[in-house]
Chain A
């Protein structure tokens, strides 16, 4: 007995198998056609990919989560930390972050599926376009830079870099980047923190920070962040790159993994 079947023998086996298959089909096909519903017009096969499944997400946020040009309504998801994306989905589900369209789309998704969706968008590496340059005075931009890099100790406002990474591209696994976001989007988020329409239930750090800022500071920091040159590496920094501890009162909220 040989281990390898000769090619001739293999051909013979294939032929007899094919005949057997044809025989089975021949016997069964009248039965099958009687049981099947009328065949619909041919439809190209639906790809079994996450892009295809997630069209409710990608139609607004882009196939790779690159975001819409006016990123207030449909911000970029690509390359953001997976933990952050999952946490935000959970917040839309439990009412801590309010947006009618997002709440409706996410309402009946479970944790494993949301984790898969978050993982997909987090893993997408898409070049960042330079956000539209905000119209802001030099004084406003200076104030924004001051806040972003040094904070305002007199009001208890830490520097953005303290938590969002020295390059402001975010820190794994939970802290989103601020680089590459438009002034309009950053503004809208800071205002949401101040008006309790974003993650407002817990004593959550951004709620505290945003409420310590003056309204003019919100505009200033958003303008400066959006006007910066983008760093060459836009990926979130690893957790170990964060050398300074987070402010003691910073509460990260749940990581989205709690059922």
Chain B
């Protein structure tokens, strides 16, 4: 009996410590006057305008808007390997949106990945990147979101099965793959580089797609941008290094800015999920910010050059790939694979032609389509979808041919890959 008080004291202390450090951080003790002053400051039109720009840079609307729905009113269900997670309504509706949220609540979500009541958020909300966003920028975004007309629209229920529906399971995941912390500028680098790094690693959340994920959906090497297959989307987000062995090898800053701003550069065109990013987000960014991102991406280190795959036996396919290329592709992309500047992207040396999986080339041939319409490219030329006229074997032959022609040294693809990707949904 004598030892009980000691144990009790330890327990109480532990509970207090938990409350202090792990419990809800929004302080209910904030004086009313202070709260009112904060609310007034959030209505500053200049702050709201800055927040609108930053919300566009972060492409918040991409997830927080349902197909055909009101922007930021949520409702889109995001597919993950663990189940569907609905993106919530972030308009200031009091019942279904962020109407009752304070800035501290918002900061806790963006920076710490915790909901208003301290619940752990699923990392499909990219707080792993957004944690780098500064408090000032977060405040501007919050001011903008709070300025939107409130839209009553309740979130769809969580589509996660046991054990993923138990949020406390995220504690272990967070210990491994999440470290909260604002972006710290590197004093050895230029202001431009630091701005680019801040945008790429933070709001731009480029790393969420352009990096490999393990079986737990975690990214182990944050910020390296070495490329990866996008979970559930059946697209490959390529490596972003512009140096030797990099996915963007040989890309100039101009090429990067062109792709993000016009949707098309001398080196390639944006398609699939990246077309959506350009259309909704990057085309609206300032020249200065895009240039800064390009400067940062150009500083990514060279990559190990992969060993060339076994030579493709053209004889085995009877020159079928080349024949199909001449018949269907060469008119636009040229017999030399160099395309037509500003109109048809080159296939020779093209990042997405050569990415390791072949997914992008296969889906581009199946789907065709237009690069995104942008102010710089308002009437883009387009590519026919070949899903109907070409068989799995035809597509396999022509893509394998393209991936091994000119300067390309990528592996062949298989008819099974093509057959599988025919069934891939748009998103």
Contact = CB atoms under 8 A, between A and B. Distances in A.
B343 A108 contact: no
A54 B382 contact: yes
B370 interface: yes
Interface string B320-341: 0000000000001011101010
Contacts of B373: 108-110, 113
A103 interface: yes
Nearest to A58: B384
B275 A40 contact: no
A60 B385 contact: yes
Interface residues on A, range: 20 to 34
A104 B68 contact: no
Given A94-B68, A107-B275, A113-B373, A53 B379 contact: yes
A108 B336 contact: no
Interface in B384-407: 384-385, 387-389
A59 B382 CA distance: 10
The secondary structure that dominates the B interface is loop
Contacts of A201: 68
B381 A108 contact: no
Contacts of A40: 334, 336, 338
Nearest to A73: B388
Interface in A34-87: 37, 40-41, 43, 46, 52-60, 73
B381 A46 contact: yes
Interface string B237-255: 0000000000000000000
A112 interface: yes
Nearest to A74: B388
Nearest to B335: A41
A101 B57 CA distance: 28
B130 interface: no
Contact of A108 (B266, B370, B379, B385): B370
Contacts of B340: 43, 46
B144 interface: no
Given A41-B338, A46-B381, A101-B387, 9 more contacts: A41-B334, A43-B340, A53-B381, A56-B370, A59-B368, A94-B67, A94-B68, A103-B426, A107-B369
28 contacts: A40-B334, A41-B335, A43-B338, A43-B340, A46-B332, A54-B382, A55-B384, A56-B368, A56-B384, A56-B385, A59-B384, A59-B389, A93-B68, A94-B68, A101-B367, A103-B426, A104-B369, A104-B426, A105-B370, A105-B385, A107-B275, A107-B426, A108-B279, A108-B370, A108-B371, A109-B370, A116-B379, A201-B68
Interface of B: 67-68, 263, 266, 275-276, 278-279, 332, 334-336, 338, 340, 343-344, 367-373, 378-385, 387-389, 425-426
Interface of A: 37, 40-41, 43, 46, 52-60, 73, 93-96, 100-101, 103-105, 107-110, 112-113, 116, 201
